[in-house]
Chains A and B, each alone.
Chain A
Amino acid sequence: MNVTLKYFASIREAIGQGSESVSTQAATLKALRDELIARGGAYAEVLAHGRAVRMALNQDLCDESAVLTEGCEVAFFPPVTGG
């Protein structure tokens, strides 16, 4: 399926782009994150399990168990610091 990926703040800077489109077989957000980590480099570093990475599916905060659907939007970002 096709998924739009978005990255923000320190994760966006490390990866070097704010968004990309990917084709994936991943069923869950965890499987997708693992695919991205397997790319190595900055992806492996900033998305590593155990790091404080927050995730959103279709613009709602979620955890790694979230199930992906065709055309969905997934975002990875660090803890938020607004206000």
Chain B
Amino acid sequence: MSFTVSIQTQDFDVSQELAALRAGDARVGAVCSFLGTVRERNDGSSVASMELEHYPGMTEKSISAMMDEAKKRFDIFAARVIHRVGLLHPEDQIVFVAVTSAHRGESFKACEFLMDYLKTQAPFWKKEVTPEGARWVDARVSDDQALARWGIKASNSVAP
């Protein structure tokens, strides 16, 4: 019955998070989760490491708002979002979203909705270290389009 968000530098244990999310709630018949990890390649370059920056305060506020929206749209019992910040390397876990519901459909949808929302609305920025030097990652038009499928207009990637 909890909707919680954590922004942290330290790693997390997916099994523990999933167990905690559904513990004590026998209404739950479905748990869906998404785990995002650091790729060794991005936009044609190898990535040695990345630094994740965020806007403390607004990050938690924006993710809480998107959980409220998910509660309105889907019949879900609980959700958990974890996003790491700081220095990360290929294969590291970056982001985790998990949702519980009675049946799989609602938690599948809510999990995807939360990730689509997070990609364009939560204030995080990635800076990659590549052989060509450090560079800020560009926003993707496809992420705006992903949120548009839910009827929410995003204009994260475009200049006004």
> Using a CB–CB distance below 8 Å, which chain A residues touch chain B?
6, 8-10, 49-52, 54, 56, 59-61, 75, 77-83
A82 touches B124 (CB 8 A): yes
Chain A proximity of B54: nearest CB distance (Å): 7
A82 touches B58 (CB 8 A): no
Which of A6, A9, A49 counts the most B-chain CB atoms under 10 A from its CB?
A9
Question: With A and B bound together, what is the CA distance between A81 and B138 in angstroms?
Answer: 7
A52 touches B137 (CB 8 A): no
B residues in contact with A81, CB < 8 Å: 124-126, 136-139
* Count, A-B residue pairs, CB within 8 A: 84
Secondary structure of the B side of the interface?
mixed
A residues in contact with B120, CB < 8 Å: 80
A residues in contact with B121, CB < 8 Å: 61, 80
B residues in contact with A78, CB < 8 Å: 125, 136, 139
CB < 8 Å neighbour of A9 from B57, B118, B122, B136: B136
Which of A8, A49, A60, A81 counts the most B-chain CB atoms under 10 A from its CB?
A81
A residues in contact with B119, CB < 8 Å: 80, 82-83
- Annotate B78-116 by CB proximity to A: 1 below 8 A, 0 otherwise: 000001000000000011000000000000000000010
Chain B proximity of A82: nearest CB distance (Å): 3
User: A51 — nearest CB in chain B belongs to which residue?
Assistant: B159
- Annotate B127-155 by CB proximity to A: 1 below 8 A, 0 otherwise: 10000000011110001000000000000
Question: With A and B bound together, what is the CA distance between A8 and B36 in angstroms?
Answer: 23
Question: With A and B bound together, what is the CA distance between A1 and B159 in angstroms?
Answer: 29
Chain B proximity of A18: nearest CB distance (Å): 10
Please judge, given known A-B contacts A9-B136, A50-B160, A54-B156, whether A82 and B125 are in contact too, CB under 8 Å.
yes
Question: With A and B bound together, what is the CA distance between A83 and B42 in angstroms?
Answer: 14
